[in-house]
């Protein structure tokens, strides 16, 4: 079982994908132990650690990061999480290609995610998922349009809202604040036959 308290021990650099979004990525793609995944735009390595914890012990998570300082931070976080046998951080621009083939999932957290869709398509096995983590609606439109052009099927796009509830003797109501919009998750799927 993944120890969620690890999240509090990891160092933050660039924006991270939080548990609320990471969990939905794994749930809606059916990710499981033994799967092989690619994460592009490693940033601080939070998503790579989460995905690695799910695919362990028999699977692997490969995380691409083109910025050396972020790749180093992600490597340190992978070690803090104790996942160095499962997660590999690659200091490489995913737009130059994905080395792994026949993977189950490609997660793209890049400003230019649509430009990486042909690489994702080539890396995925049939029926594999590509998920875009996209903060803006216009990015979703570009991502889906390019995904369809490359050959993906559109699966779904959603937003995850996390809103805690205040439970007390005098009444039950939503908290005044919450973690609302972080990004849209856009799920594409490679067809069985291409």
Show Cβ contacts of residue 59 under 8 Å, excluding neighbours closer than 6 positions.
Answer: 33, 34, 35, 36, 37, 86
Whether 1 is in a domain gets the answer no
| Domain total of the chain | 1
Closest CA to 49 of 92, 20, 1, 84: 84
pLDDT at residue 152 is higher than 80? yes
Show Cβ contacts of residue 30 under 8 Å, excluding neighbours closer than 6 positions.
Answer: none
pLDDT at residue 15 is higher than 90? no
Q: Is 17 helix (H, G, I), strand (E, B) or coil?
A: coil
Span 156-171, average pLDDT: 89
pLDDT at residue 3 is higher than 90? no
pLDDT at residue 163 is higher than 90? no
Per cent of the chain over pLDDT 70 is: 96
Whether 72 is in a domain gets the answer yes
Question: What CATH number is attached to the domain comprising 21?
Answer: 3.40.50.150
Whether 134 is in a domain gets the answer yes
Range of the domain at 51: 6-189
Whether 143 is in a domain gets the answer yes
pLDDT at residue 180 is higher than 80? no
pLDDT of residue 2: 64
60-118 pLDDT, tens per residue? 999 999 999 999 999 999 999 999 999 999 999 999 999 999 999 999 999 999 999 99
Q: Give the model's confidence band at 153: pLDDT under 50 very low, under 70 low, under 90 confident, else very high.
A: very high
Whether 158 is in a domain gets the answer yes
pLDDT of residue 35: 98
Whether 34 is in a domain gets the answer yes
């Amino acid at each position: 079982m993944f120890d969620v308290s690890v999240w509090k021990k990891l160092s933050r650099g660039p924006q991270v994908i939080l548990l609320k979004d990471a969990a939905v990525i794994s749930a809606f793609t059916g990710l499981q132990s033994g799967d092989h995944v690619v994460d592009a735009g490693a940033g601080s390595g939070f998503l790579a650690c989460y995905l690695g914890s799910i695919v362990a012990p028999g699977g692997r998570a490969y995380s691409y990061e083109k910025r050396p300082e972020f790749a180093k931070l992600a490597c340190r976080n992978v070690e803090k999480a104790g996942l160095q046998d499962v997660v590999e951080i690659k200091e490489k621009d995913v737009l130059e290609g994905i080395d792994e083939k026949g993977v189950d999932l490609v997660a793209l957290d890049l400003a230019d995610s649509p430009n990486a869709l042909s690489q994702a398509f080539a890396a995925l096995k049939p029926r594999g998922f590509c998920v875009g983590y996209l903060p803006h609606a216009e990015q979703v439109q570009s991502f889906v349009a390019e995904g369809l052009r490359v050959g993906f099927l559109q699966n779904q796009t959603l937003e995850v809202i996390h809103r805690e509830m205040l439970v007390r003797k005098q009444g039950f109501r939503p908290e005044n604040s919450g973690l609302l919009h972080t990004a849209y998750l856009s799920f594409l799927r490679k067809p069985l036959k291409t």
